[in-house]
Amino acid sequence: MSIFEELESEVRSYSRGWPVVFDRAQGSRIYSEDGKPYLDFFAGAGALNYGHNNPHLKKALIDYLQRDGVTHALDMFTVAKRDFLETLQEKILAPRELEYKVVFPGPGGANAVEAALKLARKVTGKESVINFTNAFHGMTLGALSVTGNSMKRGGAGVPLVHATPMPYDKYFDGAMPDFMYFEKLLEDSGSGLNEPAAVIVEGVQGEGGINAARLEWLRGLDDLCKRHDILLILDDVQMGCGRTGPFFSFEDAGISPDIVCLSKSIGGYGLPMALTLIKPELDVWEPGEHNGTFRGISPAFVTATEALRVYWSDDELEKSTKAKGERIASTFKDLVESYPEANLVAKGRGLARGLEFGSGELAGAVCKAAFERGLLMETSGPDGEVMKLLPPLTLTDDELSEGLSIISESVAAVLK
Give the footprint of a copy of itself on residues 149-168 (CB under 8 A).
Answer: 149-165, 167
By the rule CB under 8 A, 58 interacts with a copy of itself: yes
Verify binding: residue 73, a copy of itself, rule CB under 8 A.
yes
> Among residue numbers 207 through 246, which ones bind a copy of itself (CB under 8 A)?
208-209
Distance CA 119, CA 234 (A): 14
Determine if 56 is a binding residue for a copy of itself (CB under 8 A). Answer: no
Instruction: Determine if 206 is a binding residue for a copy of itself (CB under 8 A).
Output: no
Q: How far is CA 258 from the centre of its chain?
A: 18
Task: Please report the DSSP string for 175-242 in residue order.
Answer: SS-TTHHHHHHHH-TTS-PPPEEEEEE-SEETTTTSEE--HHHHHHHHHHHHHTT-EEEEE-TTTTTT
Q: Which of 28, 81, 248, 349 binds a copy of itself (CB under 8 A)?
A: 81
Interacting residue with a copy of itself among 114, 236, 318, 399 (CB under 8 A)? 114
**Euclidean distance between CA atoms 161 and 63, whole angstroms:** 47
Q: Tell me how far, at minimum, the Cβ of 160 lies from a copy of itself, in Å.
A: 7
Between residues 158 and 416, which has the closer beta carbon with respect to a copy of itself? 158
The only residue of 95, 191, 214, 401 in contact with a copy of itself, by rule CB under 8 A: 191
Kindly state whether residue 61 participates in binding a copy of itself, applying the rule CB under 8 A.
yes
Among 39, 60, 92, 146, binds a copy of itself (CB under 8 A): 146
Asked if 26 touches a copy of itself (CB under 8 A), the answer is yes
Q: Least distance in Å: CB of 245 to a copy of itself?
A: 21
Binding flags for a copy of itself, 125-144, as an x/- string (CB under 8 A)? --xx--xxxxx--xxxxxx-
Give the nearer residue to a copy of itself in terms of CB position, either 294 or 339.
294
- 353 by DSSP, 3-state: which? strand
What SS3 class is residue 335?
helix
Q: What is the CA radius of gyration of the chain?
A: 21
C-alpha pair distances (Å), 335 with each of 37, 135, 363: 26, 27, 13
**Cβ-based neighbour number of residue 133 at 10 Å:** 15
Check: CB of residue 332 under 8 Å from CB of residue 346: yes
134 touches 209 (CB < 8 A): yes
270 binds a copy of itself (CB under 8 A): yes
* Residue selected from 37, 44, 358, 374 as contacting a copy of itself according to rule CB under 8 A: 44
CB-based contact 2:15 (threshold 8 Å) = no
Q: Is 1 in the site for a copy of itself (CB under 8 A)?
A: no
Question: Between 79-87 and 298-311, two packed helices, what is the crossing angle to 10 degrees?
Answer: 30
Residues 127 and 231: their CA atoms lie apart, in Å, by 12
Give whichever of 321 and 379 is closer to a copy of itself, judged by the CB atom.
379
307-to-40, 85, 87, 268, 338 alpha-carbon distances in Å: 20, 13, 10, 6, 39
Closest separation in Å from C-beta 338 to a copy of itself = 28
Among 28, 39, 41, 47, binds a copy of itself (CB under 8 A): 47
* Smallest gap from residue 276 Cβ to a copy of itself (A): 8
**Using CB under 8 A, which of 56, 294, 373, 413 touches a copy of itself?**
294
Please identify, using beta-carbon distances, which residue of 190 and 340 lies nearer to a copy of itself.
Answer: 190
- Could you tell me the CA-to-CA distances from 142 to 136, 162, 195, 406 in Å, in that order? 12, 9, 18, 39
Question: Which of 50, 248, 250, 269 contacts a copy of itself by CB under 8 A?
Answer: 269
Measured from the CB atom, the residue of 183 and 402 that comes closer to a copy of itself is 183
For 114-180, the three-class secondary structure string (H helix, E strand, C coil) is HHHHHHHHHHHCCCEEEEECCCCCCCCHHHHCCCCCHHHHHCCCCCCCCEEEECCCCCCCCCCCCCH
- 111 or 410: CB nearest a copy of itself: 111
Say how many C-beta atoms besides its own lie within 10 A of residue 159's C-beta. 8
CA separation for the pair 278, 159 (Å, rounded): 29
How many residues contact a copy of itself, by CB under 8 A? 152
- Please choose, out of 218-226, 276-284, 328-336, 405-413, the segment that lies near a copy of itself by the rule CB under 8 A: 276-284
Which residues 307-366 are close enough to bind a copy of itself by CB under 8 A?
none
Out of 193, 336, 345, 413, name the contact with a copy of itself by CB under 8 A. 193
**Does 368 sit near a copy of itself (CB under 8 A)?**
no
Q: How far is the CB of 184 from a copy of itself (least distance, A)?
A: 7
Q: Which of 39, 41, 50, 88 binds a copy of itself (CB under 8 A)?
A: 88
